[in-house]
Amino acid sequence: MVARVETVAFQGVEARPVDVQVHMAGGMPTFTVVGLGDKAVAESRERVRAALHAIGLGLPPKRITVNLAPADMPKEGSHYDLPIALGLLVVMGVMSQTDLDKFIVIGELSLDGQINAVAGALPAAMAANARGRGLICPEACGPEAAWAGMDEANVGGILAPRSIIALVNHFKGTQVLAEPQPMKATDARSQPDLRDIKGQEMAKRALEVAAAGGHNMLMVGPPGSGKSMLAARLPGILPPLSPREMLGIR
């Protein structure tokens, strides 16, 4: 049988979809990864083999082929470990294909079955969102991925397990993973406060009206009259940005 797990390849800041296909058949026991991967992708075999062994699921003595499609696009990085391992768990009957169909998967494995942080959780989460899927990423990347602000309609959400065991338990329903929270970017208290401004009641009122109604504002006045000072205090009276809004202005 062939298992399919969706992941991404990074080209600059763009995340292109990659289909990880895992095939297991009788014959000489081998484990090959094809699909134009770099050295880190080729070495993935050893990490996957050791990680699965560590959780008590040694690879069966079969002919295992992993294809990273599209096969003509170069793939670099160690984040293919987890999708390859999950594909193997599907062909071994430990996980179900339908569970994984809802997700895009990234993550590097350590030899003891833990899932290590990888770069690019945010673009991967945005790509997943655009394709109506959730994201499975390392625990350490959860707060970064949560910045993408998954759509309500997206059934998958973000899963950030610490280890393969934690992920398998989540799908079995024995230990459900909590959705990661976006990390805080700025501390609201560090922003300049409107009370620093002496007098200027009209200008302050205009600032409040602009903030409340989302209007544009033009300030005219001689140098040193406090225009820049007033403008710097506008964010302090606006409601906090949602993660998605923050991404938009950065």
Ligand X SMILES: Nc1ncnc2c1ncn2[C@@H]1O[C@H](COP(=O)(O)OP(=O)(O)OP(=O)(O)O)[C@@H](O)[C@H]1O
Residues 6+ apart with CB under 8 A from 247: 122, 147, 148
Pairing of strands 63-69, 103-105: unpaired
Near ligand X by CB under 6 A: residue from 27, 61, 221, 240: 221
CB of 222 to ligand X, least distance (A): 7
d(CA 12, CA 10): 6
With contacts defined by CB under 6 A, name the span among 26-34, 93-101, 223-231, 238-246 that binds ligand X: 223-231
With contacts defined by CB under 6 A, name the span among 88-96, 131-139, 155-163, 198-206 that binds ligand X: 198-206
Closer to ligand X by CB, 154 or 200: give it.
200
Near ligand X by CB under 6 A: residue from 71, 228, 242, 245: 228
Neighbours of 179 (CB within 10 A): 12
Closest C-alpha to 243, from 142, 147, 126 = 147
CB of 223 to ligand X, least distance (A): 3
Near Mg ion by CB under 5 A: residue from 184, 228, 238, 242: 228
SS3 113: coil
Q: Which does 45 bind (CB under 5 to 8 A by kind): Mg ion, ligand X, none?
A: none
Going through 29-124 in order, the beta strands assigned E by DSSP cover 30-34, 63-69, 103-105, 108-109, 115-116
> Does residue 213 bind ligand X (CB under 6 A)?
no
Near ligand X by CB under 6 A: residue from 140, 227, 235, 244: 227
Near ligand X by CB under 6 A: residue from 119, 191, 200, 241: 200
d(CA 128, CA 15): 9
In one-letter notation, the amino acid at residue 34 is: V
Residues that bind Mg ion (CB under 5 A): 228
Q: Which residues bind ligand X (CB under 6 A)?
A: 197-200, 221, 223-229
